[in-house]
A and B are shown apart, each in its own frame.
Chain A
């Protein structure tokens, strides 16, 4: 490839096309009537150099096409097809007739394009073997499921880190219209604010006019009269006063031009107009703040209510911090836009338009001439703000470097001193610090230039007004008052121009915030509004998995084709290595995730067809680190049954072996547990969670590592409580400490998403080479060590 030839990075969504040479190679390999089904292009060669090769799929063959070379393999011969991921690139490897072939190699950029290829090839191979099969292309579904990408699903462009939405695909106008729709219910407030806005802006523009009147109708006639030694009235009669001066003419019944009373009147008017504008501005500000707050309130509550309706998989997919940021920061930014941003824009436009009109009315020629520097001003403003942003970004990074050293070493001072590394830390700090210094100096340079330069540019019109305007005053075509008003207007002219230069950036930020907020609001809730699924009838406790397959990511099923039935009252122990799929299995029973294939049945009802809330209200869960809410112990026990009586709460606590430690607290059941139960120990929290489950009296019980993080004595107490709880309920218990599963009716040993062993403790322990037997052995070895 010629250096610098391709401007655009090839995007995953780009259309695929075979080169002529490659197409010829493929043609030679095609059989009669065989057509090309899919073509995938790569972005690197097998050698590791950048370039393009192709993967071609037909109903019968797969072909890897390179420059001058083609590898074609019949699909029926495939024994294994997989994408093997490495750092920065992946290989599609197939094994055909005991021989591996590395077909194509591609970078991470195309990873999603190839994610579904092995599945698709398997389907094609099966269809090639049995002609009657209908092709189900599941690869698209995997692709849709994959979220490990920072590219826009629509255009394939990169999504900027800070924005997290594709700015190219944002329909900004639509977003802003939708945003504005939140204003509609508060139309009266909005209209009042807008009227006030126009009035204050117009009043604000009056003062230069008043100043003009002072000049033309008071000061000039008076000074001329003094110089000529005449009466002022005579001068007026000569017509030297500005005939354009509407204000003076309006006031003429009250005071004559050139008199002190007119001066006093005009000054009073000046003062009055300013105070009125200020008072109205204060009123408008209050209305706008109120409007903004009311709207924020609506959006925030709307969002929180919607979040509660979303499925758990949304929360595992999205980072908690980001969701919280959306509820707080993004909503606040919207408020700022709705209340200040919109009005600022309107205000700036009104101001600019009326200033230009005023100036044109006074002197069109002069106005056009002094507008000449405006484009320069706009260009420099935009150029400088870009430059400044760049510099400050770099500066910010260096600041980060310095503060990260501080954050590192100050809390770690003990270690620094213990290893006698003070001098090295000082040297390290000085290096970063000097980086920062040079950055600061660079920024200071630009900043120092910025102010004076902008000042100079905006000063040019002032000079021009004095020069050109002065000439006009001298030849009598412009009054001194006009000249003064011109000057004052020009000073007011540049601020709105500068604001409007930054408008695009402001809009963009708001649009991306709006997109993030609406993204939450538009995420489909677990149960569609309006759609009512039937409630789960009271449970007996029978659970059945029929061919259940589920995965979080494409090509990596966590549960593979599970089949089992659990009778009411049975206790099932789940064991296996971490990552074997134990927790996922449990989350399928509570309908937190929906099976990709197959069905989960409770009491012979497909749980995807009932209201998940009604199902969960009948299932009890005790987790490894139970989550307590900030509140009293009693409230936490009664979380699943808020109307429980005090006796019920005490009875549940007793059954959970929690009563004795609860009454030892000075506040007993009214003890505040602190945020997330911080004031309680792990074992205490655990027993509260068990009491919570006992109070709820569920027919199905789930214990996820319920005794993992407590000492032996506490464990015995919890174990005793659990046995009381388990009695008569269908129970699924996950445990790493296998001794806790001894009472289970059956044990399921999971391995790589499949049930590798199933049976009672006694059956499994005696199985030679069994996974369970091995795990138990290792644990009893460890136990012996502990005893020693």
Chain B
């Protein structure tokens, strides 16, 4: 319940809000980053200690998995009740941050495409041959319409439901860009 835990009371008094929404957020949701301690229990579940309170088996959810990976991380318990939101991972203690980032990396496996070697058509199926931050990869799409362009960012989903991302297609090399531009 909001406002009942000691760490919440601490947040409440420090809230220096500029807008109504910001004020509400600080009161209801924000977890003070520097008070978080994280560890894994022997079942490999995440245990968070926030101030005096300890929460077993919690899960991290990115509120903006596409547009902001480092900020606005919701923390929920095993029954999906929200405990609060971590505003900015960068403000956490280094060892906490390291563990949380590692877990987020598993929970959101979205390789970044760094280079496109080629895009070929096998029948009606586009086959992408790419270099990602996780290494070389070849994947197949279900049609040529499986990519979403949000400004200069491109999101792809392959036939098996794996996601890929091109952070800024205009920043890719010339060859990759030419290939991409045929597809959007």
Contact partner of A87 among B110, B142, B159, B160, CB < 8 A? Answer: B110
Are B138 and A150 in contact, with the CB atoms below 8 A?
A: no
Are A397 and B184 in contact, with the CB atoms below 8 A?
A: yes
Contact partner of B129 among A7, A48, A149, A162, CB < 8 A? Answer: A7
Interface centre among A5, A49, A87, A93 (most CB of B within 10 A): A87
List of B residues within 8 angstroms of A102 by Cβ:
44
List of B residues within 8 angstroms of A49 by Cβ:
134-135
Are A87 and B136 in contact, with the CB atoms below 8 A?
A: no
Interface residues of A in 122-175 (CB under 8 A from B): 149-151, 157-163, 167-168
Contact partner of A99 among B42, B136, B140, CB < 8 A? Answer: B42
CB of A110, distance to nearest CB on chain B (Å): 8
Are B163 and A88 in contact, with the CB atoms below 8 A?
A: yes
Give the docked Cα–Cα distance between A393 and B142 (Å).
15
Interface residues of A in 1-59 (CB under 8 A from B): 1-9, 44, 48-51
Are B160 and A89 in contact, with the CB atoms below 8 A?
A: no
List of B residues within 8 angstroms of A50 by Cβ:
111, 132, 134-137
Interface residues of A in 383-431 (CB under 8 A from B): 390, 393-394, 397
Instruction: Confirm or deny: B183 has a beta carbon within 8 angstroms of a beta carbon on chain A.
Output: yes
Instruction: Confirm or deny: A111 has a beta carbon within 8 angstroms of a beta carbon on chain B.
Output: yes
Contact partner of A8 among B108, B138, B146, CB < 8 A? Answer: B138
CB of B17, distance to nearest CB on chain A (Å): 23
Q: A150-B142, A150-B160, A162-B124 are in contact. Are A394 and B182 (CB under 8 A)?
A: yes
Q: A1-B136, A7-B129 are in contact. Are A151 and B159 (CB under 8 A)?
A: yes
Instruction: Confirm or deny: B96 has a beta carbon within 8 angstroms of a beta carbon on chain A.
Output: no
Interface residues of B in 153-173 (CB under 8 A from A): 158-163
Are B183 and A159 in contact, with the CB atoms below 8 A?
A: no
List of A residues within 8 angstroms of B134 by Cβ:
44, 48-50
Q: A89-B106, A91-B106, A167-B123 are in contact. Are A7 and B160 (CB under 8 A)?
A: no
Are A159 and B108 in contact, with the CB atoms below 8 A?
A: no
Q: Which residue of B lies closest to A97 (CB)?
A: B42
Binary A-proximity of B89-110 (CB < 8 A = 1, otherwise 0): 0000000000000000111111
Are B162 and A88 in contact, with the CB atoms below 8 A?
A: yes
Are A168 and B123 in contact, with the CB atoms below 8 A?
A: yes
Instruction: Confirm or deny: A293 has a beta carbon within 8 angstroms of a beta carbon on chain B.
Output: no
Q: Which residue of B lies closest to A95 (CB)?
A: B43
Contact partner of B43 among A100, A162, A394, CB < 8 A? Answer: A100
CB of B4, distance to nearest CB on chain A (Å): 18
Contact partner of B160 among A109, A163, A397, CB < 8 A? Answer: A109
Are B162 and A107 in contact, with the CB atoms below 8 A?
A: yes
Give the docked Cα–Cα distance between A397 and B143 (Å).
13
Instruction: Confirm or deny: B117 has a beta carbon within 8 angstroms of a beta carbon on chain A.
Output: yes
Are A100 and B108 in contact, with the CB atoms below 8 A?
A: no
Are A9 and B106 in contact, with the CB atoms below 8 A?
A: no
Give the docked Cα–Cα distance between A86 and B46 (Å).
15
Interface centre among B123, B146, B163 (most CB of A within 10 A): B123
CB of B122, distance to nearest CB on chain A (Å): 8
Which DSSP category, helix, strand, loop or mixed, fits chain B's interface? loop
List of A residues within 8 angstroms of B132 by Cβ:
50
List of B residues within 8 angstroms of A394 by Cβ:
182-184
Binary A-proximity of B66-85 (CB < 8 A = 1, otherwise 0): 00000000000000000000
Q: Which residue of B lies closest to A150 (CB)?
A: B159
Instruction: Confirm or deny: A98 has a beta carbon within 8 angstroms of a beta carbon on chain B.
Output: yes
Give the docked Cα–Cα distance between A403 and B160 (Å).
29
Contact partner of A51 among B129, B135, B161, CB < 8 A? Answer: B135
Are A158 and B135 in contact, with the CB atoms below 8 A?
A: no
Instruction: Confirm or deny: A108 has a beta carbon within 8 angstroms of a beta carbon on chain B.
Output: yes
Give the docked Cα–Cα distance between A45 and B162 (Å).
16
Give the docked Cα–Cα distance between A49 and B134 (Å).
4
List of B residues within 8 angstroms of A8 by Cβ:
138
Q: Report the contact-size class of chain B (Cβ under 8 Å from the partner).
A: 35 or more
CB of B65, distance to nearest CB on chain A (Å): 7
Contact partner of B143 among A48, A149, A161, A167, CB < 8 A? Answer: A161
Are A86 and B107 in contact, with the CB atoms below 8 A?
A: yes
Are B138 and A3 in contact, with the CB atoms below 8 A?
A: no
Are B42 and A158 in contact, with the CB atoms below 8 A?
A: no
Are A160 and B127 in contact, with the CB atoms below 8 A?
A: no
Are A87 and B109 in contact, with the CB atoms below 8 A?
A: yes
Give the docked Cα–Cα distance between A158 and B163 (Å).
16
Instruction: Confirm or deny: B175 has a beta carbon within 8 angstroms of a beta carbon on chain A.
Output: no
Contact partner of B109 among A86, A157, A163, A393, CB < 8 A? Answer: A86
Give the docked Cα–Cα distance between A316 and B127 (Å).
32
Are A160 and B142 in contact, with the CB atoms below 8 A?
A: yes
Contact partner of B117 among A4, A151, A393, CB < 8 A? Answer: A4
Interface centre among A8, A108, A111 (most CB of B within 10 A): A108
Binary B-proximity of A760-784 (CB < 8 A = 1, otherwise 0): 0000000000000000000000000
Are A88 and B109 in contact, with the CB atoms below 8 A?
A: yes
Are B162 and A109 in contact, with the CB atoms below 8 A?
A: yes
Are A87 and B65 in contact, with the CB atoms below 8 A?
A: yes
List of B residues within 8 angstroms of A162 by Cβ:
124, 143
Give the docked Cα–Cα distance between A89 and B163 (Å).
10
CB of A418, distance to nearest CB on chain B (Å): 19
CB of A382, distance to nearest CB on chain B (Å): 13
Instruction: Confirm or deny: B7 has a beta carbon within 8 angstroms of a beta carbon on chain A.
Output: no
Q: Which residue of A lies closest to B42 (CB)?
A: A99
List of A residues within 8 angstroms of B123 by Cβ:
160, 167-168
Q: Which residue of A lies closest to B164 (CB)?
A: A88
List of A residues within 8 angstroms of B146 by Cβ:
161
CB of A500, distance to nearest CB on chain B (Å): 20
Q: Which residue of B lies closest to A163 (CB)?
A: B124
Are B144 and A393 in contact, with the CB atoms below 8 A?
A: yes
Give the docked Cα–Cα distance between A161 and B141 (Å).
9
Give the docked Cα–Cα distance between A95 and B43 (Å).
7
Instruction: Confirm or deny: B23 has a beta carbon within 8 angstroms of a beta carbon on chain A.
Output: no
Give the docked Cα–Cα distance between A93 and B44 (Å).
9
Give the docked Cα–Cα distance between A44 and B146 (Å).
23
Instruction: Confirm or deny: B24 has a beta carbon within 8 angstroms of a beta carbon on chain A.
Output: no
Instruction: Confirm or deny: B139 has a beta carbon within 8 angstroms of a beta carbon on chain A.
Output: yes
Contact partner of A98 among B42, B65, B142, B143, CB < 8 A? Answer: B42
Instruction: Confirm or deny: B145 has a beta carbon within 8 angstroms of a beta carbon on chain A.
Output: yes
Instruction: Confirm or deny: B88 has a beta carbon within 8 angstroms of a beta carbon on chain A.
Output: no
Other A-B contacts than A87-B110, A89-B106, A107-B109, 18 sampled, CB-CB below 8 A, are A5-B136, A6-B136, A7-B138, A50-B135, A50-B136, A87-B65, A88-B110, A88-B161, A88-B162, A100-B45, A105-B106, A109-B162, A149-B160, A158-B140, A160-B142, A161-B142, A162-B124, A167-B124
Q: Which 4 pairs of residues, A with B, have the shortest CB-CB distance? A: A88-B109, A100-B44, A160-B124, A89-B109
A-B pairs with beta carbons under 8 Å apart, 16 shown: A3-B136, A7-B138, A9-B139, A9-B140, A48-B106, A50-B137, A88-B108, A88-B110, A88-B163, A93-B44, A100-B42, A108-B160, A111-B161, A150-B160, A160-B142, A394-B184
